[in-house]
Amino acid sequence: MNELRVAVIGHRFMGRAHASAWRQVGHFFELPRRPVLQVICGRDPAATRAAAETLGFLEAAASWQEVVRRPDIDLVDICTPVALHHPIAIAAAAAGKAVFCEKPLARDATEAAEMLAAVRRAGVPHMLCHNYRRVPAIALARRLIAEGRLGQIHHFRGVYLNDRLVDPQAPRTWRHDRAQAGGGAVTDLGSHMIDLARFLVGEMTEVAADLRTFIAERPLPDGAGIAPVDVDDAATALLRFAGGAMGTLEVSRFGTGHRNYNCFELSGSAGSLAFNLERLNELALFDRADRTLAGFRTLLVTERDHPYLAAWWPPGHTLGWEHTFIHAARDLIHGIATGEPVSPDFEDGLRAQRVIDAIQRAALSRRWETVPET
């Protein structure tokens, strides 16, 4: 079978999640091309070599600039801090590589637009890693909405909380530096929820918002003193959708007790849906057509005819968070082989980024801000 030689840039949290996906995807899905874990790249040579060995890459490398130009690489998979997404994606596209990029696409819409222009100019396959679209229960939610089971959607409520920063001694990393991350909870957690809002409800036209930084400086991880935090710790926003729905968004790294609480609810004229990532095999459905028996019921999303499930285990044998990356890898490999676009793509990333930018603007202006269409 034709190989797909993968270079993963970044070897820590997302580098490991993606490496696991590239390794496992062919164990479960029929693929037109077989991924080869060719090279993993990171800043610290010893740690990168150790990661290559543990994760099963043929090589470790220190320079992403060299890696993206290598003629033996087919796909560049970007798992670095956000500021590096832009230069790596543009260089990889210019070298003719397929590009898979972690979210958020960029630090702001200007960078995102340049990245979209670069992949279009080069005509290379590309995909943004909003893996939550590929939780089977969320893919099923989208199917139910498309079938009209919810009717006209009136409400979207998105809440994404963790409690990583509630400890004032939690170290300051690249995530707390606007120059490296582009923003705080609103870009990190908010980008996921905004992508889900777009996936399930559609485009947003206007936003109003409040951002807050609760702890303005934090200790550096190496014990070398303290440094300022110049991004938000939490954000709330009101959302207006083009289709008439109204929405709320709450994202926080101070959601004490919530570890990875990625939840949404949709209320429609015919029914409602609710999802919580901490129960990711389940989807709650309320169908008004059930009349006297109506009530929220919990669907266990592990049936063969549920999205992605035919490739996995018998019903009731549940999946986990890492499977979402395997599903993304499966869809990207098919997109590369067929030439069909894969979503979310860089245009989705740009559109989500415009919402994030508008939220950041609205928090400063204390007014409703328009989400630009172009």
Ligand X SMILES: NC(=O)c1ccc[n+]([C@@H]2O[C@H](COP(=O)([O-])OP(=O)(O)OC[C@H]3O[C@@H](n4cnc5c(N)ncnc54)[C@H](O)[C@@H]3O)[C@@H](O)[C@H]2O)c1
Residues that bind ligand X (CB under 6 A): 9-15, 41-43, 64, 79-82, 84, 102-103, 129, 131, 188
Q: Which DSSP category does 171 fall into? A: P
- The separation between the first and the last C-alpha atoms of the chain, rounded to the nearest angstrom, is 41
- Number of CB atoms found within 10 A of residue 178's CB: 16
Q: How far is the CB of 131 from ligand X (least distance, A)?
A: 5
Considering beta carbons, is residue 64 or 264 the nearer one to ligand X? 64
- How long a stretch of residues is the chain? 374
Q: Residue number with the shortest CB distance to ligand X?
A: 12
Q: How far is the CB of 199 from ligand X (least distance, A)?
A: 14
Tokens of 267: 């209320």
CA 359 centroid distance within chain? 18
Considering beta carbons, is residue 10 or 268 the nearer one to ligand X? 10
Residue 255: which residues within 8 A CB-CB, separation 6 or more? 161, 162, 163, 261
Q: How far is the CB of 58 from ligand X (least distance, A)?
A: 17
Q: How far is the CB of 268 from ligand X (least distance, A)?
A: 27
Q: Cβ(352)–Cβ(372) under 8 Å?
A: no
Considering beta carbons, is residue 151 or 171 the nearer one to ligand X? 171
Considering beta carbons, is residue 113 or 129 the nearer one to ligand X? 129
Burial of residue 326 (CB within 10 Å: 0-12, 13-18, 19+) is buried
Q: How far is the CB of 56 from ligand X (least distance, A)?
A: 16
The alpha helices in 40-108, defined as continuous H runs, are 45-55, 64-69, 85-94
Considering beta carbons, is residue 14 or 371 the nearer one to ligand X? 14
